Amino acid sequence: MCDFFRISAGDQAKLDSLSERLRRLVVGSINYNALIQPGRTLVFRLYMGEKWQYPRLTDLTTLSGLLTRDEGLEPFEELTVTSTVSPLSAYPPQYFDGHDQIVDTGVRYLLLTPDDATDKDVEQKHPNDSAKSKLYDILELSAPSQFDVFRDTKRSIREYLSKKPIEPWIPSTVEKENASPHRHHPVVEIKPGEAPAGSPKAVIIAMHWFQAGGAERWALETVRLVKEAGLYPVVITDRDGHQPWINRPEFDDALLLPLTAPLQERPGDAPLLRALFEHFDIKGVLIHHSQWMYDRAWWVKKYFPQTEIIDSLHIVEYFFRGGYPHESVMRDKWIDLHHVISPQLQHWMVDVHHVNPKKVVVAPLVGLTADHEKATFKTRDTSKPLTVAFVGRMVRQKRPEAFILTAHALQQAYPGKFKFIMQGNGDMDIFADTLIERYGLGEVLEMRPMTTPVAKTYQDADVLLISSINEGITLTTIEALSAGIPVISADVGSQSTLVPKQGLLRRMTSKMVHDAKSALVHLANNEDDRKQLWALEENRLEKFSQLEPADHLFARTLEGWNK
């Protein structure tokens, strides 16, 4: 592991006495500060916050003590640390936040959170209880199907907006900032030094957060691939969270920089990247849903044009005119390669937004969580009920209510002929429980927590039903097919790449429930068709897998970077 600071044996012992998650969060903050404040000695005061807070590690409150000292908290530990960084350009420690000077007293007040804190703790403390939100929740709970008519209209409008031309992003260069009449003072460009020959070769992996998610699973895999290629992984995250994944073994021997915004930065400059580029021979940057890195891609290309930038895109969101793919198209000028995981995304990038087709590569994430090569159809005892599974986080994107409504419709029409399993947790747990109770599905619908091995659920299920309102290509589809069970899915994102027409369901909830009901009844009564559906899907997966898988593409690319 590469650290950029000197610490006394006593303080090192204090650091080592922390849990691994806390230790990595603190070391991340220390390394960040050591990099942008070369040579300085800083005092780090560690405070334990509440479960409903998120750690504050690098933002301006760590300089002011606003959320710690000023709140009357007492530090549980104090460390004195000296940066061992030898800078190759100037790092003035004075920064401004708009027109206000950021006062730096040489102390960093870090707010940490208990290891068992979850997002749910935060949401429960800060519920969105505006009148609009309350009305939304009431309508969603009382008339989920009817309410979705309204929501689907919104989705269609947003889909339309996501297809409108995207203006290129204008970076915050020195020239642009100095032309603004609102600047506190004219900015001076600071050019980065170049890492000396023989500096360690590294790759920046910019992630959303250290937390479970499809994009994060792939990001984790790229960390492994970077190490395997003999390069040093520098992992940067920019999203608030408890960062439970930070202590995963995949991140051992990597430089971890969990950022919390806003940082000490000056327009036209990227002090953290500057410091990294002065220390490492950075061969490339991999972006996995990191807004911070997207916003600084121009800086990398301005000063280090030879450094390649690749982003991985998973899904076209309804919000923000496409979400990260939208951000990517805006910054296409500075990105060398867009890795997309589905043909739908490729179509959106190339055909809708006219990104150079040579820069867009579809590389599926097959093999990331399941091995489908040896997959065989899993037969079932037709005398027993057909078991339909839902696997995923209990969040609005996965639309658990549509699955429950399907279960309700089937149970009403064919009592005893179907069983249901819902595996997953999320902020809609209570919502799902309420609906299950309302429809009296307790006997036929089994809830399984995220901690249950997902393979067990596939083993117990006969069909996977994907009720999401949006997806790329779900990893669960690949997992289910690999486990020998067919998939029926809402026709969203790129699901149609793997699921044939007879397995696709219209998107709006009422229509989806209608289509799912008839498809499932048909599959329950026609085992051959269930097998045929799986075979068709498996065949499509096989074809899809003929494309170079993402891990091969990246392994090959990383090998090239290390030459």
Residues within the interface to other proteins (CB under 8 A) = 92-94, 96, 100-106, 184-186, 188
Q: Say how many C-beta atoms besides its own lie within 10 A of residue 27's C-beta.
A: 23
Nearer to other proteins, 68 or 344 (CB): 68
The CA radius of gyration of the chain, in Å to the nearest whole number, is 25
Alpha carbon distance 401, 432 (integer Å): 7
Find the shortest distance in angstroms from Cβ 93 to other proteins: 4
Find the shortest distance in angstroms from Cβ 186 to other proteins: 5
Nearer to other proteins, 8 or 105 (CB): 105
Alpha helices in 425-526 (DSSP H): 429-438, 454-460, 475-482, 509-525
77-83 vs 41-48, strand pairing mode: antiparallel
Residues in the chain, overall count: 563
Alpha carbon distance 137, 142 (integer Å): 8
Nearer to other proteins, 100 or 123 (CB): 100
Find the shortest distance in angstroms from Cβ 40 to other proteins: 8
Find the shortest distance in angstroms from Cβ 99 to other proteins: 9
Nearer to other proteins, 185 or 374 (CB): 185
Find the shortest distance in angstroms from Cβ 30 to other proteins: 18
Alpha carbon distance 176, 462 (integer Å): 59
77-83 vs 5-7, strand pairing mode: antiparallel
Q: Is 320 left (phi over 0), alpha (psi -120 to 50) or beta?
A: left
Burial class (CB in 10 A: 0-12, 13-18, 19+), 350: middle
Find the shortest distance in angstroms from Cβ 23 to other proteins: 27
Nearer to other proteins, 107 or 361 (CB): 107
Nearer to other proteins, 186 or 305 (CB): 186
**Contact by Cβ (8 Å): 44, 26:** yes
Q: Say how many C-beta atoms besides its own lie within 10 A of residue 415's C-beta.
A: 11
Amino acid in position 32? Y
Find the shortest distance in angstroms from Cβ 66 to other proteins: 16
Nearer to other proteins, 186 or 198 (CB): 186
Nearer to other proteins, 110 or 256 (CB): 110
Chain position carrying tokens 């600084």: 296
Alpha carbon distance 104, 88 (integer Å): 22
SS3 199: coil
Find the shortest distance in angstroms from Cβ 7 to other proteins: 19
Nearer to other proteins, 263 or 409 (CB): 263
Could you tell me the CA-to-CA distances from 187 to 57, 96, 362, 447, 555 in Å, in that order?
Answer: 26, 11, 41, 57, 41
**Contact by Cβ (8 Å): 403, 465:** yes
Alpha carbon distance 31, 295 (integer Å): 22
**Contact by Cβ (8 Å): 49, 111:** yes
Find the shortest distance in angstroms from Cβ 277 to other proteins: 23
Cis previous bond, 262, omega within 30 = yes
Find the shortest distance in angstroms from Cβ 183 to other proteins: 10
Nearer to other proteins, 184 or 354 (CB): 184
**Contact by Cβ (8 Å): 218, 475:** no
Find the shortest distance in angstroms from Cβ 280 to other proteins: 25
- Closest by Cα among 289, 278, 233, 277 to 256: 233
Nearer to other proteins, 174 or 352 (CB): 174
